[in-house]
């Protein structure tokens, strides 16, 4: 009989402290391999190994591609690399971003489920939006267990809440209780993983290969979903809509992946870019129209000058409307569900001011 001894942990905003607290509560002789993805900018120096070494006697380090998986160790995804599990070793890749991140939580969770089945325990901690939900869903599909930090305790509750809403969770608890549960679960004997539907197994393998930088065209997701009306915010490729239970997510043919929430956040960000691009163009047009008006006035052609000055005034009014739209646009940006307005009370007046 195999034992439950693979722990995968995902966190984002507010998650650095949550990870530290969880590791500090684990006994030093825990017979499990622990893998951690914490969202960070690609240029940020990875400081988590140093921070965790102060809290535990576990060997802690950034994962190294192709190193063997050993028990009683902590492997951390380094900046700008996905961390994947492949049977007895780890793999680091520079595959397409998922939910706007690399490393992302879903590729780790998905690969752990595929390689280790019901030996896996997935843990979602504090974070914004919903990265990790799809990966945790896959862990459950392959017979693993799903633990989630109590959203009331999490500094940013969106990720735990998303997982609770869309995945069958085995336990929702504060950090200290999660650590106790992990100690109880690790080492338990598990039956062989039940057979996975062929299409689900093929889809999981395909998505792992995409994250592993295998040729995307040879790993198309079109057979696992339907073409959507949305273009990928990263590469503008057509996105495939993938449905898993109540989960809806998207992946383009080059490999970028988005949950519905992260896609909404990206599209909203693109709106802001477009507004400022249009504002820049309008301001340049006003300047040019006024310059042409000055030229006609200097040439003693008042009629033509007046026409250009009039056009400049009209464009200046449109420019001000765009400027107001750019100012209120952050109010429409769903950074996290916690930040979203509970009604349209704050939005409608702002929009009305433009009309």
Highest mean pLDDT among 67-71, 231-235, 329-333: 67-71
What is the pLDDT averaged over residues 177-185? 96
Lowest-confidence region among 121-125, 335-339, 346-350? 346-350
Share of the chain above pLDDT 90, in %: 65
Among candidate residues 106, 130, 131, 315, the one labeled active-site is 131
Quick check: 78 pLDDT over 50? yes
For residue 304, CA distances in Å to 130, 267, 311, 313, 318 come to 57, 42, 11, 15, 22
**Within 13 Å, how many C-alpha atoms sit on residue 226's CB side?**
5
Per-residue pLDDT at 343: 33
Per-residue pLDDT at 330: 58
For 264-279, what is each residue's pLDDT tens digit? 888 887 888 888 888 8
Quick check: 352 pLDDT over 50? no
Q: Is 266 a catalytic residue?
A: no
Peptide bond before 99: cis, by omega within 30 degrees of 0? no
How many whole angstroms separate alpha carbon 54 and alpha carbon 257? 35
For 195-236, what is each residue's pLDDT tens digit? 888 988 999 999 999 998 875 555 577 888 899 989 898 888
Q: Is 65 a catalytic residue?
A: no
What is the pLDDT averaged over residues 281-293? 92
Burial of 248 (0-12, 13-18, 19+ CB in 10 A): middle
Lowest-confidence region among 108-112, 152-156, 212-216? 212-216
How many whole angstroms separate alpha carbon 81 and alpha carbon 93? 5
Per-residue pLDDT at 47: 87
Q: How confident is the model at residue 76 (pLDDT cuts 50, 70, 90)?
A: very high
For 295-323, what is each residue's pLDDT tens digit? 999 999 999 999 999 999 999 998 888 88
Per-residue pLDDT at 215: 57
Quick check: 105 pLDDT over 60? yes
Please answer whether residues 63 and 35 qualify as being in contact, where contact means their C-beta atoms are separated by less than 8 angstroms: yes
Q: How confident is the model at residue 341 (pLDDT cuts 50, 70, 90)?
A: very low
Torsion on CA atoms 108, 109, 114, 117, rounded to nearest 10? 130
Per-residue burial over 176-212, b = 16 or more CB atoms within 10 Å of its CB, e = otherwise: ebbbebbeebbeeebeebeebeeeeeebbebbbbbbb
What is the pLDDT averaged over residues 131-138? 95
Per-residue pLDDT at 6: 98
**Average pLDDT, rounded, for the chain:** 87
Q: Is 39 a catalytic residue?
A: yes
Per-residue pLDDT at 350: 37
Per-residue pLDDT at 164: 96
Of 88, 92, 89, 95, the closest CA to residue 207 belongs to 95
How many whole angstroms separate alpha carbon 237 and alpha carbon 350? 33
Neighbours of 314 (CB within 10 A): 11
Torsion on CA atoms 343, 262, 171, 198, rounded to nearest 10? 130
Per-residue pLDDT at 329: 59
- Give CATH superfamily name and number for 2-190: Methylesterase CheB, C-terminal domain (3.40.50.180)
């Amino acid at each position: 009989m195999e034992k439950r001894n693979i722990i995968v942990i995902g966190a984002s905003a507010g998650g650095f402290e949550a990870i530290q607290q969880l590791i500090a509560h684990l006994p030093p002789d825990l017979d499990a391999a622990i893998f951690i993805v914490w969202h960070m900018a690609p240029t940020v120096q990875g400081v988590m190994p140093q921070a965790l070494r102060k809290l535990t006697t576990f060997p802690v380090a950034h994962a190294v591609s192709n190193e063997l998986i050993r028990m009683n160790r902590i492997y951390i995804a380094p900046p700008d690399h996905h961390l994947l599990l492949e049977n007895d070793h780890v793999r680091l890749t520079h595959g397409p971003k998922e939910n706007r991140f690399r490393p992302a939580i879903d590729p780790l969770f998905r690969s752990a489920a595929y390689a280790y089945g019901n030996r896996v325990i997935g843990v979602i901690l504090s974070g914004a939006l919903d990265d990790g939900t799809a990966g945790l869903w896959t862990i459950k599909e392959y017979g693993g267990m799903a633990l989630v930090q109590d959203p009331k305790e999490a500094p940013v509750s969106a990720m735990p809440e998303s997982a609770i809403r869309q995945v069958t969770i085995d336990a929702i608890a504060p950090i200290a209780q999660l650590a106790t549960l992990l100690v109880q679960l690790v080492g338990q004997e598990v039956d062989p993983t039940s057979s996975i539907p062929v299409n689900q197994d093929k889809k999981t393998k395909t998505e792992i290969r995409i994250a592993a930088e295998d040729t995307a065209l040879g790993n198309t997701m079109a057979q696992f979903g339907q073409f959507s009306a949305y273009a990928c915010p990263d590469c503008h490729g057509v996105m495939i809509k993938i449905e898993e239970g109540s989960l809806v997510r998207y992946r383009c043919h080059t490999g970028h992946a988005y949950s519905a929430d992260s896609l909404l956040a990206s599209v909203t960000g693109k709106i802001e870019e477009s507004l400022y691009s249009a504002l820049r163009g309008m301001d340049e047009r006003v300047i040019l129209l006024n310059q042409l008006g000055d030229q006609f006035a200097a040439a003693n052609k008042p009629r033509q000058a007046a026409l250009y000055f009039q056009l400049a005034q009209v464009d200046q009014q449109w420019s001000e409307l765009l400027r107001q739209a750019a100012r209120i646009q952050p109010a429409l940006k769903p950074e996290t569900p916690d930040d979203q307005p509970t009604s349209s009370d704050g939005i409608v007046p702002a929009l009305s001011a433009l009309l």
